[in-house]
């Protein structure tokens, strides 16, 4: 009880009377009248407001948590990023999310990147989605093998942010979304350049 009185004295000193054993608080009454709200600004004076285009979706399939977090944070500046930690999970997410591009790690436990890419390209629901393979191998050129399984490009990890964005842009320009079923146009050069600078 003493704590309540002390708090009331400190916080509501002008409303507390030391002679009284209770706090006296008076609230003014407010008469609220409903009024019409002008929603003309929602339609920009009668014209439909332009709907912001959805950002491209990147599906990142990588079992290495530090790499996944780094790429997700980097790509989040220009893309909506969906992540998977295994090949099977990536196959499921690719079929349900219809990403614009897939970044796929080559070395993963269970179903590796080679097999995952082969399955993506053999499924009619995902065959048109471009795949960029990510590899830590620096001593061998995997480009021929990547192209044989249907990948659009290969990046050696870790790669710079600018190289990552350039590769995704190149793949999206080469295989535009609007030529693939259920897709929208690719991100413009300016949007990716500004994301790289940030």
Inside any domain, residue 19 = no
The DSSP symbol for 57 reads E
Q: Which of 86-123 are b and which e, b meaning 16 or more Cβ less than 10 Å from the residue's Cβ?
A: bbeebbebbeeebbbbbbbbbebeebebbebbebbeee
| Count of structural domains within the chain | 1
Is residue 25 situated within a structural domain?
no
Q: What is the mean pLDDT of residues 92-112?
A: 94
In a domain, 141, yes or no: yes
Tokens of 87: 């090949």
The answer to whether position 136 is within a domain reads yes
Task: Domain of residue 81: give its range.
Answer: 57-197
Is the residue at 72 inside a domain?
Answer: yes
CATH of residue 193: 3.40.50.2300
pLDDT in tens, 104-162: 999 999 999 999 999 999 999 999 999 999 988 766 677 777 888 889 999 988 788 89
Q: Residue 18: inside a domain, yes or no? A: no
Residue 66 lies in a domain: yes
Is residue 1 situated within a structural domain? no
Report if pTM > 0.85: no
Q: What is the pLDDT of residues 50-72, one digit of tens each?
A: 555 678 999 999 999 998 999 99
């Amino acid at each position: 009880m003493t704590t309540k009185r002390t708090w009331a004295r400190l916080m509501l000193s002008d409303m507390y009377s030391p002679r009284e054993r209770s706090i006296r608080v008076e609230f003014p009454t407010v008469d609220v009248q409903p009024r019409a709200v002008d929603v003309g600004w929602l339609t920009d004076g009668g014209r439909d407001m332009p709907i912001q285009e959805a950002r491209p979706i990147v599906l990142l399939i990588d079992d290495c948590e530090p790499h996944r977090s780094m790429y997700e944070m980097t790509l989040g500046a220009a893309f909506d990023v969906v992540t998977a930690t295994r090949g099977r999970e990536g196959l499921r997410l690719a079929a349900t999310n219809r990403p614009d591009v897939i970044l796929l790690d080559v070395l993963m436990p269970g179903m590796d990147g080679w097999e995952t890419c082969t399955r993506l390209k053999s499924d009619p629901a995902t065959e048109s989605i471009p795949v960029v393979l990510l590899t830590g191998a620096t001593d061998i050129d995997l480009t021929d093998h990547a192209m044989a399984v249907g990948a659009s490009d290969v990046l050696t990890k870790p790669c710079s942010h600018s190289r990552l964005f350039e590769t995704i842009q190149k793949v999206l320009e080469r295989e535009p979304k609007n030529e693939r079923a259920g897709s929208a146009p690719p991100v413009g050069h300016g949007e990716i350049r500004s994301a790289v600078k940030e």
